[in-house]
Chains A and B, each alone.
Chain A
Amino acid sequence: MGKGMLKTLLGGVIAATAMLAAPAMAEEPLKIGFVYVGPVGDMGWTYQHDQGRKAIEKALGDKVKTTYVESVKEGADAERVIRQLAASGNKLIFTTSFGFMNPTLKVAKRFPNVKFEHATGYKRAKNVSTYAARFYEGRYVAGILAGRMTKSNVIGYIGSFPIPEVIRGINSFTLALRKVNPKAVVKVVWVNSWFDPGKEGDAAKALIDQGADVIMQHTDSPAPMQIAQERGVYAVGQASDMSRFGPDAQLTAILDVWDGYYVQRAKAVLDGTWKSEDTWGGLAAGMLALAPYNKAIPADVVAEAEAARKAIIAGTLHPFQGPIRDQSGKEVVPAGKTIPDGELLGMNWYVEGVQGEIPQ
């Protein structure tokens, strides 16, 4: 918080100096700004976005110049930071958290010549694109591994907030889990935080004490992985490869990969081909990937998971293809049908096999 403020202040000073110096330069590089919700050192969400920023620098060299502001609070503060970046000459600005949606649109209106890219949002404008990744595809593959590796048939799932993105992940995971192991169930514990290592660790302990022998997480710290390692159970990493925290525990990890998309968008601005669009890419688009599988997983299970991953990429398998039953056992999606994207984006119900109710 304090650091973010200081950086913004410094940014202002630097921007002011840059403006004075600007006329002297012949061909200016494209300035690209990033707004992060967390610290670049969170080893999760923000860390992966920053990897994407570095990928742009690597791919486009001195044609671009990137800056970032980290730990920006969602809300009024965000608008100030985004406007600051736009005012100081950034022509492409990535705002990488859902809560930056309205501030981004507000600033975009005032700066029609600046292109904006907002992650995970749904509101667009002429100069505002949105992008997100289909992380549920990775969770589907993880569900196969969990279903084959569990002995207790109880899976513990640590959720952050009961929003469609997280619920979609739980459902996708559970559908794959039950497909390979109809006896397995999923216990969900919400910690109401994206990042609280202590609480995430406690949630993992509680789930293990209740019989879970595979831990899934949709929160950002490696604490659950560490607990899984300590207690001798399996876990699936989130956002980045967490195997350092659980060398024996990590079955795989669902990796956020923004590199390709970020480079492509920066190039589009340089070529003048940038258009406002909505991108929701999955495994096929390379917007997410899976970390190397745990060595303890038998070869036939690895083959099964890989087959599913390849089928998703090929488009022959969709995690949400029927038949799908809800918690009461009622068939809500018949065989041969697939839940359309519009419904996936607003998903607010559990599939069969998930225990408990979604908090309202």
Chain B
Amino acid sequence: MESTTFIAIFATIVTASTPLLFAAIGELVVEKSGVLNLGVEGMMLVGAVSAFAVSTGTGSPYLGIVAAIGAGGVMALLFGILTLTLLANQVATGLALTLFGVGLSALIGQGYVGTPATGLAGIQIPWLSDIPVLGGLLFQYDIMVYMSLALTAAVSWFLFRTRPGLILRAVGESHDSAHAIGYGVIPIRYMAVIFGGMTSGLAGAYLTLAYTPLWTENMTAGRGWIALALVVFSTWKPGRLLFGAYLFGAVTIGQLHIQGLGVAIPSQFLSMLPYLATVIVLVLISRDQLRIRLNAPACLGKVFHPSA
């Protein structure tokens, strides 16, 4: 294979994986704090349409990114108020948030259907982008790709190398104990939930600003649910999550190429392959049952009330 073709395929894989990584890394933090927010898809959609609206309105995709972060955060705040303050069921509220996000984004996006936009351009880094092959392979992406990678590293560092990260994990493991020691369970969870909303917003922004720079209703097409699954199969570890998101992206793109080459494998099977491969690989690398139990936040999805 020519190196230019290889670079092009690799670049496609990176763009397919980035929205999943954004959405999943935020949800990982949310779940580590003991909250299960199934509204990722809805938050992504609202983030996507906000980014598109602001970017086409102001001409600045960067303002679009900021808008998406804000919109995702507000959606998550709504979820927080319902589940953390009003103690609603997290699963039901999360599902409702997705339904709400689908409708709200369609409403906001009404005037933007059929409007093309110029996407985020790749950034050329002096020296690095000029390196033959490697420059094309690693240093030609838009800014959000690097953001997603930096964010993953930062989350990993925060959760496992800092004291606030330790507290957040403690809240997710045993909110009663954390509360007894004097940590504010509810404020900490609020922060985690809003962070998750912001990254979901970023995931949506990546779709409308870089992946396919256009707005159509329901354009996330289930990516929020894939992100949720990736968090579980990565056993709540950022490194594995990164691996899982890229594996999913690679198999998704790989199966399209296999079809294009005319290999006689049923396309329905190939379409299933990304899910299958990702689940199998992640289950294999984390097949130690004890470790999964150690990694899964013990209070995931449980309602907390200080008086209980």
Contact = CB atoms under 8 A, between A and B. Distances in A.
B212 A198 contact: yes
A124 interface: no
Given A187-B260, A203-B256, A210-B261, A223 B214 contact: yes
Interface in A192-210: 192-193, 195-199, 201-203, 205-207, 209-210
A143 to B, nearest CB: 19
Given A244-B116, A355-B262, A2 B110 contact: no
Given A3-B106, A205-B12, A197 B267 contact: no
Nearest to A2: B99
A293 interface: no
Nearest to B222: A196
A2 B100 contact: yes
Interface string A333-360: 0000000000000000000000111011
Contact of A3 (B16, B102, B253, B259): B102
Contact of B217 (A39, A188, A193, A357): A39
The size class of the interface chain A forms with chain B is: 35 or more
A267 to B, nearest CB: 30
Interface in B201-225: 207, 211-214, 216-219, 221, 223
Given A162-B267, A187-B262, A205-B12, A197 B212 contact: yes
B288 to A, nearest CB: 34
B271 interface: yes
B99 A1 contact: yes
B252 A6 contact: no
A209 B211 contact: no
B52 to A, nearest CB: 12
A245 interface: yes
A3 B113 CA distance: 17
A205 to B, nearest CB: 5
A42 interface: yes
B106 A198 contact: no
Interface string A241-261: 000110000000000000000
A1 B102 contact: yes
B132 interface: no
Interface in B95-130: 99-100, 102-103, 106, 109-110, 113-116
Contacts of B5: 209
Nearest to A196: B221
B211 A226 contact: no
B257 interface: yes
Interface in B254-288: 256-257, 259-264, 266-268, 271
A43 interface: yes
Nearest to A222: B214
A41 interface: yes
A197 B219 contact: yes
Contacts of B8: 205, 209
A156 interface: yes
A42 B271 contact: no
Interface string A72-99: 0000000000000000000000000000
A31 to B, nearest CB: 25
A221 interface: yes
Contacts of A222: 114, 116, 214, 216
Contacts of B259: 188-190, 206, 356
A222 B208 CA distance: 13
Given A1-B102, A193-B221, A201-B212, A41 B260 contact: no
Contact of B116 (A187, A195, A226, A357): A226
B9 A190 contact: no
B12 A202 contact: yes
A270 interface: no
A202 B213 CA distance: 13
Nearest to A224: B212
A190 B260 contact: no
A206 B214 contact: no
A192 B109 CA distance: 26
A112 B211 CA distance: 49
Given A199-B221, A223-B214, A356 B99 contact: no
Given A197-B219, A201-B211, 20 more contacts: A39-B218, A42-B216, A190-B267, A190-B268, A198-B19, A198-B219, A199-B221, A206-B253, A206-B256, A206-B259, A207-B256, A209-B5, A209-B8, A210-B261, A221-B216, A223-B214, A245-B116, A245-B214, A357-B262, A360-B266
5 contacts: A189-B267, A198-B207, A203-B256, A223-B212, A357-B264
What 9 A-B pairs are tightest by C-beta distance, nearest first?
A: A2-B99, A190-B267, A356-B262, A206-B256, A41-B113, A196-B221, A39-B217, A3-B103, A359-B267
